[in-house]
Amino acid sequence: MARGLLSPAAMTKDRKPTSLGWATAEPSTGRPPAPPDQDFASPDHEHEPGASYSPASAPPLVGYPAYAAPSPPPHAYNSDPHAGYPPAAAYPAYAAPAQPPYAPYNPPPHGGYPQAAAYPAYTSPQDPPHNQAPSAGYQHGAAPPPAQAAPPVQRPIHKASTGVSQRVRFLRLTYLHLLLAIAAFAGLLRLLVTNPVLGAKVSAPLVKFALGGRWNWGVVLVVFMAVSWVADAWASHARSRAVQYLGLAFYIVAEALIFVPLLAIVEWKTQAILARGGAEPHIVRDAAFVTLGVFTALTASVFLSRKDFSFLRSGLAMASGAALSLIAMSLVFGFNLGLAFSVAMVLLAAGYMLYHTSRVLADHDPRHHVAAALALFSSVALMFWYVIRIFLRARE
């Protein structure tokens, strides 16, 4: 490359090797010819002793283009580009970064980091960290202030056992009221059967009217259904605790009264068996044991399995509607509902036991333990009624 840039006249002169190529020299002195005005000097080139050395006076390399110094950056100093780096006074003052709009900022006059008063101290975790200066809040070189801890968030303490304790209390009250309702029913029924005054004033007229004809029995059933609906409404929806207990008591009395004609039939059946020389059938006693045994077994199965029987609701409603339809047809057409109907009603009562027990255990309103006890008592009484009918047929 260097050869292509030399003229034929220069090639006839003496040639001297250098560290960067071949250069011609004068034959008389051995010194290179006077260099043209170039911008770059070789670091290996010698100069006259005692002469001041500068990049502008150094001879260029032969055969190489002049080195063009890069233009200074826009922010650089305003001085001679060939005179080296200027002193610090040639630079403009350090421009501090833009201040966030929410903080007052007074830039320092001589550059560098601002003083502690230039930036506000970081006080809130919501302030954006990227808008804070590296040394904000303290002087340059000083230790940073201790971080301010955010105030603790006040959260309500959740008691995990609150719902469990309320449900346990509700279960205890429900089954306590159920036990009291069964005891009150049994005691009132015994008084209606054995007490002479109540027997003469209440039981005898009721039995005479109810068994006087099938339409009379239909009237008794309709009145009992109306009383049951009112009692359930009082026990379930009233805010007053006294009204709730009044509804439960009203239902117990109605249930005891409707059992009086059935117990009269049981007494007549027992007298007929004894007159024929048979043993005491104990129909009511055995029916009570069977009913309480089935109820206990079904209740234990729900409590142990924790199964939800709320899906039985629609099926129980349809079965109850079908049973009422059959009862109404028997009253209208005069046919007798046999043993199969009694067995089906026992199964319906068992379904109601499962459904009400599941609700009591899972999602029944804890404030309405009286209504829950009434619902369970109604299913027990329904089963007891039809178990007695089954024993009447079985003991013939």
Q: Is residue 145 part of a domain?
A: no
Confidence class of residue 385 from pLDDT cuts 50, 70 and 90?
A: very high
What distance in Å separates the CA atoms of residue 227 and residue 229, rounded to the nearest whole number?
Answer: 5
What Cα–Cα distance (Å) separates residue 386 from each residue in 194, 389, 392? 23, 5, 10
Q: What is the pLDDT of residue 251?
A: 96
Q: Is residue 389 part of a domain?
A: yes
Res 68 pLDDT > 70: no
Q: Cβ distance 310 to 358 under 8 Å? A: yes
The residues, any chain, with a CB within 8 Å of residue 10's CB and separated by 6 or more, are 24
Tell me how many domains the chain contains: 1
Confidence class of residue 99 from pLDDT cuts 50, 70 and 90?
A: low
Res 285 pLDDT > 50: yes
For 182-209, what is each residue's pLDDT tens digit?
999 999 999 999 999 999 999 999 999 9
Q: How large is the C-alpha radius of gyration of the chain?
A: 56
Q: What is the pLDDT of residue 317?
A: 94
Kindly give the interhelix angle for 214-237 and 241-275, rounded to the nearest 10 degrees.
Answer: 150
Amino acid occupying residue 386 = Y
Question: How many Cα atoms within 13 Å fall on the side-chain side of residue 337?
Answer: 19
DSSP state of 45: -
Res 176 pLDDT > 90: yes
Confidence class of residue 13 from pLDDT cuts 50, 70 and 90?
A: very low
What residue numbers bound the domain in which 221 lies?
170-394
Structure tokens at 299: 């209740």
Q: Is residue 156 part of a domain?
A: no
For the entire predicted model, the pTM comes to 0.60
Q: What is the pLDDT of residue 149?
A: 55
Q: pLDDT above 70 covers what percent of the chain?
A: 58
Q: Cβ distance 360 to 177 under 8 Å? A: no
Q: Is residue 67 part of a domain?
A: no
Q: 1-5, 58-62, 218-222: which has the minimum mean pLDDT?
A: 1-5
Q: What is the pLDDT of residue 195?
A: 93
Q: Is residue 184 part of a domain?
A: yes
What distance in Å separates the CA atoms of residue 354 and residue 152, rounded to the nearest whole number?
Answer: 49
Confidence class of residue 395 from pLDDT cuts 50, 70 and 90?
A: confident
Res 126 pLDDT > 80: no
What distance in Å separates the CA atoms of residue 149 and residue 146, rounded to the nearest whole number?
Answer: 9
Mean pLDDT across the chain: 75
Structure tokens at 48: 């006259």
What distance in Å separates the CA atoms of residue 302 and residue 309, rounded to the nearest whole number?
Answer: 9
What distance in Å separates the CA atoms of residue 139 and residue 43, rounded to the nearest whole number?
Answer: 47
Res 253 pLDDT > 90: yes
Res 151 pLDDT > 80: no
Confidence class of residue 300 from pLDDT cuts 50, 70 and 90?
A: very high
Q: Is residue 217 part of a domain?
A: yes
Structure tokens at 105: 């900022």
Average pLDDT over residues 48-60: 49
Residue (of 76, 78, 112) closest to 95 by Cα position: 112
Q: What is the pLDDT of residue 213?
A: 84
The residues, any chain, with a CB within 8 Å of residue 272's CB and separated by 6 or more, are none
Q: Cβ distance 26 to 62 under 8 Å? A: no
What distance in Å separates the CA atoms of residue 161 and residue 316, rounded to the nearest whole number?
Answer: 34
What distance in Å separates the CA atoms of residue 354 and residue 298, rounded to the nearest whole number?
Answer: 6
Average pLDDT over residues 297-309: 92
Q: Is residue 72 part of a domain?
A: no
Q: Is residue 86 part of a domain?
A: no
Give 306: exposed, middle or buried? Use CB within 10 Å, 0-12, 13-18, 19+: exposed
What distance in Å separates the CA atoms of residue 364 and residue 126, rounded to the nearest whole number?
Answer: 46
Q: What is the pLDDT of residue 167?
A: 85
Q: Any alpha helices (H) in the chain, and if so which ranges?
A: 8-12, 161-194, 196-198, 204-210, 214-237, 241-275, 283-305, 312-333, 339-362, 369-394
Q: What is the pLDDT of residue 98?
A: 60
Q: What is the pLDDT of residue 279?
A: 85
Q: What is the pLDDT of residue 321?
A: 94
Res 366 pLDDT > 70: yes
Instruction: Please give the sequence-ordered ranges of beta strands (E in DSSP) within the chain, or none if there are none.
Output: 14-17, 22-25
- The residue assigned the tokens 């006080």 is 123
Q: What is the pLDDT of residue 338?
A: 87
